[in-house]
Amino acid sequence: MSIATFIPSVWSARLLEHLDNTHVYASLVNRDYEGEIRAFGDTVHINQIGDITINDFLGGAISDPEELDGKKMDLYIDQAKYFNFQIQDLDNAQTNPKLVDAAMQRASYGLNDVVDCYLAQLLVSGAPAESTLTAASITSENAYDKLVDLGVILTEHNVPMVGRWVVVPAWFHGLLLKDPRFVGNGTGYNQAILQSGWVGDAAGFRIHVSNNVPVTDNTYSIVAGTNAAGSFAEQLVELEAYRLEKGFADAVKGLHVYGAKVTQPKALALLKCSKPGA
């Protein structure tokens, strides 16, 4: 090979940033039982106290204490995902630490995205049929009104007004922006990326935007509720960096286990609707 035909290759220390979804749903459920899991296959037993009878006091003796009827639910850690990647030393001698760090970020993003989609489907499927609305098409004239209708459903089910959220696709958010009743983040609008897709408030809800809103045959499932509706638990149970026996490469592998359950279905309301013009 002559010097004239030699073309050197240069590895850049700058890494191309990715255009990623904002993960939303995991921030909208409670994590009360997260510290109790240790491994894939674990079961978390959740108890809920039933109603307590209120009696009239007539000035004399009172009745014997009633035995509380506790409802038991099980949250299964039945989901497990792993990653396992390697980075060659020789090709990336100067940038290896940065590449490993970036690869770990990509692995973390990938795990979070899988969880986000999983929770979106779980919450949608957990909404009761009597709490589900259907709209043939959403416009800038009725988008806000449909959120009001979701709020009415939650109120009728005694769901507290405080802490209500709804997750909408980008096009639905665009329609809300055309309605003066929608209150956006104003100067803090860019904080939406840092605050789980929160873009403003409307009809008593904190509005979150996500590209992971479930959609089937152009029917979007927009779920609303509070964090009392579902419980989520996760754990990174294994994380190991190791040297490959053959070759010159570093590798990292990790195991992520998790599970979730809709514990209060009445704290959810669902809107099934189509995108305008579809």
CA-nearest of 196, 219, 222, 220 to 208 is: 196
Please list, in sequence order, all residues whose beta carbon lies within 8 angstroms of the beta carbon of residue 241, skipping any fewer than 6 positions away.
250, 251, 252
Per-residue confidence (pLDDT) for residue 82, from 0 to 100: 93
Q: Is 162 exposed, middle or buried (0-12, 13-18, 19+ CB in 10 A)?
A: exposed
Q: What is the pLDDT of residues 65-116, one digit of tens each?
A: 877 776 788 889 999 999 898 877 655 545 566 777 788 888 888 999 999 9
In whole angstroms, give the CA distance from residue 69 to residue 51: 8
- Mean of the per-residue pLDDT values of the chain: 83
Q: In the predicted model, what is the mean pLDDT of residues 150-167?
A: 96
Residue 10 has pLDDT above 70, yes or no: no
Residues 6+ apart with CB under 8 A from 177: 184
Domain ranges of the chain: 25-53+68-274
Q: How far apart are CA 195 and CA 157, in angstroms?
A: 28
User: Could you report the per-residue pLDDT of 193-238, keeping only the tens digit for each?
Assistant: 445 678 888 899 999 999 999 999 999 999 999 999 999 998 888 8
Cα–Cα distances in angstroms (integers) from residue 29 to residues 56, 119, 143, 230, 267, in the given order: 38, 9, 24, 5, 11
Name the token pair of 249: 């490469």
Considering 54-58, 95-99, 158-162, the range whose residues carry the highest mean pLDDT is 158-162
Q: What is the dihedral of CA 120, 122, 127, 128, to 10 degrees?
A: 160
HSE (CB half, 13 Å, CA atoms) of 223? 30
